[in-house]
Chains A and B, each alone.
Chain A
Amino acid sequence: MFFQKNEFKFLTKLFIINVKKLLVVKNLTYQYSDRNLLEFPEKYQMSSFEGKEFLHDYKKSRMSKIKHFEKNQNSITKFDDILKIIHFKGDTDIQNKIRKDIIETEEFFTFLCSKLEENKMESFLKEIIDVFIKKFEIRKKIFNAYNADFKVASNDFANLKNYSLFSLICLLEYHKTDNLKYLNTSLKLNDIICSQSTKISSSDDITLFLFIVKKELEFIFSLCDKKKVFLNE
């Protein structure tokens, strides 16, 4: 019995779909931070639904990163405490430099954190956070410098500190506003950082990493409770 060409194509497609499904079921791991996301960005388009197990696997993946770094580290759980660790030692004139000169991203994000600590975030700075969210969401990269029009002014996008600082800013904005846009971006930033976590070495950077991953987990599981999505351990 021979298949018609169209029938053969259809059966082949169906076979491939089911093999892929079997692989997903067999290898239920959180796949969104298991490759170098700086080199091979994740678009997150039309992601598949995998049931409650997916959230278990996400939690396991994040916890394994936390456990790896947690030994001999002081645990910080409050935003006030983590913001004290991020010292803004930079140019106090940075606010005037915005929209005029090239801004070093790490310095600018540290400056934003200092504003958040003082609880003095001017509305134009909030707009700039939204500009960075849009830029990151499009390219899945944060570059080391931007010009006055927030166009990229550097070829380097591998500084993990930039991603960690921006994730902290997004988590703080989510904490203040409950706006899921910020938690969404933080999740993607943390996927990138977790995919590169072996490169995190300084004590302050490890402290920051542990804080943003733990805070993300806290917010996600609080949202699960709110939406009555109970994960039975």
Chain B
Amino acid sequence: MSKIGIILTPDSRSKAYLCKILSYKINLDEIVFLNDKRNEKIFQTEVINESKKCGFDISKSVTQILNENSIHYKEFNFMDINNPKLIEYLKQSKIEFFIFTGGGILKKEILNCGPKFVHFHPGIVPYYRGSTCFYYSILNDDECGVTAYLMDEKLDAGEIIHQRIFQKPSHRFIDDVFDAHIRSETLIEVLNKNLLDKKKFRKQNIDKGETYHIIHPVLKHIAILSCI
């Protein structure tokens, strides 16, 4: 059985991953928390309620969730995924796969330090690489998708572990709630089906597909309005 860990960051994605791992009673072998103790975003009641419907509570901090569940974790007081202190720690780790939740673009040093890193990208690659893909997917196809892949130096071009399609949401909280929800649902599927153990990973054709850039607010509004 592969040893699996997670590197958390103080954001809604990490909250969703953590809440769902706990509710599905999945045991991870290591939890690392990159915590620069930033002032967390405050969410309106509507957003909090929607997050609870999706199986996590966006109003709680990652620290709160960890402590309420008496979870043992290693904390660093920075957010930079490429920080040498983190790399040194990971080199000593016996973990084969770390779930990535944010903290920057992985550089050569961390990619080569031992463990492999698994990213849950909110787009079906190769057709939706890049940024804010769920909005483009809603506009083109009226649906969204998530790709779990092993991270390498290229953007969204690593070996594919799993892909899953989701219906577009019926609410407007796409950035804060829906994005975290679909990524975390895909994470649970990957873990429950032991897909990291099975190691049936698919190489991508990097010459195929499309890379999108941050969506313009006009297109973003059309996408959201088409959902609600």
Contact = CB atoms under 8 A, between A and B. Distances in A.
Interface of A: 9-10, 13-14, 17, 32, 43-47, 49-52, 54-55, 58, 133-134, 137, 179-181, 183-185, 187-188, 220, 223-224, 227-229
A162 to B, nearest CB: 18
B interface bracket (residues with beta carbon within 8 Å of A): 20 to 34
B218 interface: yes
27 contacts: A9-B39, A10-B42, A13-B39, A44-B214, A44-B215, A45-B214, A47-B220, A49-B221, A49-B224, A50-B221, A52-B225, A55-B221, A55-B225, A134-B211, A180-B140, A181-B212, A181-B213, A185-B213, A187-B218, A223-B139, A223-B222, A227-B139, A227-B223, A227-B225, A229-B222, A229-B225, A229-B226
A188 B211 CA distance: 17
B100 interface: no
Contacts of B215: 44, 184
Contact of A184 (B172, B216, B221, B226): B216
B217 interface: yes
Interface in B138-172: 139-140, 172
Given A44-B215, A49-B224, 12 more contacts: A13-B42, A44-B214, A44-B217, A52-B225, A54-B221, A58-B218, A137-B213, A181-B211, A185-B213, A187-B219, A188-B216, A229-B225
B136 A228 contact: no
B225 A184 contact: no
A134 B220 CA distance: 19
Contact of A49 (B172, B214, B219): B172
B219 A180 contact: yes
Nearest to A186: B216
B109 interface: no
Nearest to A45: B214
Interface of B: 39, 42, 136, 139-140, 172, 175, 210-226
A183 B175 CA distance: 21
B214 A43 contact: yes
Contacts, number: 76
A38 B181 CA distance: 37
Nearest to B215: A184
Contacts of A9: 39
Nearest to B176: A46
Nearest to B43: A17
A173 to B, nearest CB: 12
Nearest to B44: A17
A187 B220 CA distance: 12
A157 to B, nearest CB: 18
A183 B220 CA distance: 12
A9 B220 CA distance: 32
A32 to B, nearest CB: 6
